[in-house]
């Protein structure tokens, strides 16, 4: 992993170790980051964290290679002042906190501090996440490479052209898993309405969405072609798609409204 030796020598501080922090930490340890190089600040450590071999609380390295901020946005005001001493340029600050702009971290850690803002999503818990990253002016190519290497421990990583894209990313991939989970819920409920048992309807919905997602990611064809491949003229799929693809009430209009609402809320959170 790029930057592994620097982390092994200087350490990594993880501020917050809930579900996302734990997923990342498990990925780092699997990829060879020495447990003794990781120092976690977490007021309520899980049993898994206690048994992971990493340092919890106690003395922290003075100038770690990375400080990764994984606390919830509403806890930021309480958490950041205690970590402000890591600012000044010697430590790369990476944030996975939703709705918290780069400027907030620059104000907390001071000028010259390299900061990378990242937006992962919950499939990171099974190593299938996707994370978008963007750096501030002080974050050079090496800092972005290190952030990407760390975040690849839980899935794919993409780089943004600018921080202005982060609200749209939040609305598509950050919040997107919830849209898919709701699709599973509603698809199963529709199956029940057609006479299936709840257990069978849910099993069919889960496997269908999971399998179709894997096919969409692995196939050479784009999703539009995959859709056409399974749609026979005047068949059952076409009958359903005529409802789902309706310009006024179908998926296109509904998802545009949903994603826009999420993006707008992300902008509001960023303004504080």
**pLDDT value for 217:** 95
Q: How many CB atoms lie within 10 A of CB 235?
A: 11
Q: According to the annotation, is 17 in a ligand binding site?
A: yes
CATH for 4-162, options being 3.40.50.720, 3.40.50.300, 3.30.70.141, 3.40.1160.10: 3.40.50.720
Residues of each domain in the chain carrying CATH 1.10.3730.10: 176-270
Q: According to the annotation, is 73 in a ligand binding site?
A: yes
**pLDDT value for 3:** 63
**pLDDT value for 2:** 53
**pLDDT value for 75:** 82
**pLDDT value for 31:** 85
Q: According to the annotation, is 58 in a ligand binding site?
A: no
Edge-to-edge strands, sheet with 92-95 = 55-56, 38-41, 12-15, 66-69, 92-95, 115-119, 129-135, 155-159
**pLDDT value for 41:** 92
56, 49 contact by CB (below 8 A): yes
Q: According to the annotation, is 71 in a ligand binding site?
A: yes
The closest of 90, 93, 140 to 118, measured between CA atoms, is: 93
Architecture of domain 176-270: Orthogonal Bundle (1.10)
Residues in the chain predicted with pLDDT less than 50, given as ranges, are none
Q: According to the annotation, is 152 in a ligand binding site?
A: no
Q: According to the annotation, is 53 in a ligand binding site?
A: no
Residues of each domain in the chain carrying CATH 3.40.50.720: 4-162
Q: According to the annotation, is 14 in a ligand binding site?
A: no
Tokens in use for 60? Answer: 């922290």
């Amino acid at each position: 992993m790029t930057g592994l030796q620097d982390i092994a020598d200087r350490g990594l501080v993880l501020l917050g170790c809930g579900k996302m922090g734990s997923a990342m930490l498990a990925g780092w340890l699997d990829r060879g980051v020495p447990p003794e190089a990781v120092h976690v600040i977490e007021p309520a450590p899980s049993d898994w964290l206690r048994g992971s071999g990493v340092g919890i609380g106690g003395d922290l390295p003075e100038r770690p290679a990375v400080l990764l901020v994984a606390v919830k946005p509403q806890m930021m005001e309480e958490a950041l002042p205690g970590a402000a001493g890591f600012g000044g340029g010697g430590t790369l600050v990476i944030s996975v906190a939703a709705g918290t702009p780069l400027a907030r971290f620059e104000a907390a850690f001071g000028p010259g501090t390299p900061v990378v803002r990242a937006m992962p999503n919950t499939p990171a818990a099974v190593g299938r996440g996707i994370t978008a990253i963007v750096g501030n002016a002080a974050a050079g190519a090496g800092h972005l490479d290190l952030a990407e290497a760390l975040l690849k421990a839980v899935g794919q990583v993409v780089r943004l052209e600018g921080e202005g894209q982060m609200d749209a990313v939040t609305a598509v991939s950050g919040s997107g898993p919830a849209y898919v989970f709701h699709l599973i819920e509603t698809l199963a409920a529709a199956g029940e309405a057609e006479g299936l048992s709840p257990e069978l309807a849910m099993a069919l919905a889960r496997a269908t969405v999971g399998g179709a997602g894997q096919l969409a990611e692995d196939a050479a064809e784009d999703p539009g072609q995959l859709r056409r491949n399974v749609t026979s003229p005047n068949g059952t799929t076409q009958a359903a798609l005529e409802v789902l693809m309706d310009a006024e009430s179908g998926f296109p209009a509904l998802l545009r409204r949903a994603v826009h609402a999420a993006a707008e809320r992300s902008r509001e959170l960023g303004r504080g």
